[in-house]
Structure 1
Amino acid sequence: MSGASTAAYLARRAAQKERVRILYRRALKDTLNWAVHRHLFYQDASDLREKFEANKHVEDLDTIDKMIDAGEATYNKWRHPDPYIVPWAPGGSKFTRNPVPPSGIEILYDYGQEEND
């Protein structure tokens, strides 16, 4: 392989690894939404890991791209319709519950201590 083709191969392979990593993390986090108890989650997570490990040996770049596309399509099809959102995260029930005060309002943090002159 020439230097340019080697660089292109490595760049494409790195992009594929990143896509697989993102897909695995999303699927693993989504598994938490489906599993009610931790012992169920551990079994589902183990099954998910086995699915990813089964294709670890594939080297053909086009085949890998097709497998990633199929995995992303499956993930989108089976994604949880009402995922758990941490309350203080965007979309959570406590997000921006206490908004930042408008500009021009000064907050004094003296906690009721009076100045003795």
Structure 2
Amino acid sequence: MSATASFLARRAAQKERVRILYRRALKDTLNWAVHRHLFYEDADRLRERFEANKHVEDLETVERMIADGEATYNKWRHPDPYIVPWAPGGTKFTRNPTPPSGIFIEKERKI
């Protein structure tokens, strides 16, 4: 019973790592694509690579494949990824910060 629970817990952790790796690689693929139709081709190739190994069950083999995938991802990551302008790290992030608490800015009244 304990071995089965351990197997299932390790398998669940591996599935989560694969899911995270796939999402990161897919988002990074969008950084490399100049046009959306190029992104779709690259995304299809990426999905095929993940789907080809979907049925591997050996835990050590899966662990090695995840490590290889993460190493490949880190090797080919985009050096200057796209960041949404208003997100943290974007060009518009906190451009106009909210005033500190206690300061009241009165709006102009039109006569």
Question: TM-score with structure 2 length normalisation?
Answer: 0.94
Give the C-alpha shift of residue 113 in structure 1.
Answer: 7.7
What is the correspondence of 1:2-81 to structure 2 with a 5 Å cutoff? 3-81=1-79
Following TM superposition, the consecutive aligned residue runs of length 4 or more in structure 1 with deviations greater than 3 angstroms are 111-114
The Cα of 1:98 is off from its aligned counterpart by 1.2
SS of the residue corresponding to residue 33 of structure 1 reads helix
Unmatched runs of 5 consecutive residues or more in structure 2: none
**Could you tell me the percent identity over the aligned residues?**
78
Provide the alpha-carbon RMSD of the alignment: 1.5
Q: Aligned partner of 2:109: which letter? A: G
- Structure 1 distance, partners of 2:106, 2:49, is 57
- Count of aligned positions: 111
Alpha-carbon distance in structure 1 between the residues aligned to 2:28 and 2:62: 23
Structure 1: gaps spanning 5 or more residues: none
Superposition deviation, residue 107 in structure 1: 4.0
Residue 102 of structure 1: how far off its partner (Å): 1.5
TM-score normalised per structure 1? 0.89
Greater C-alpha Rg:
1
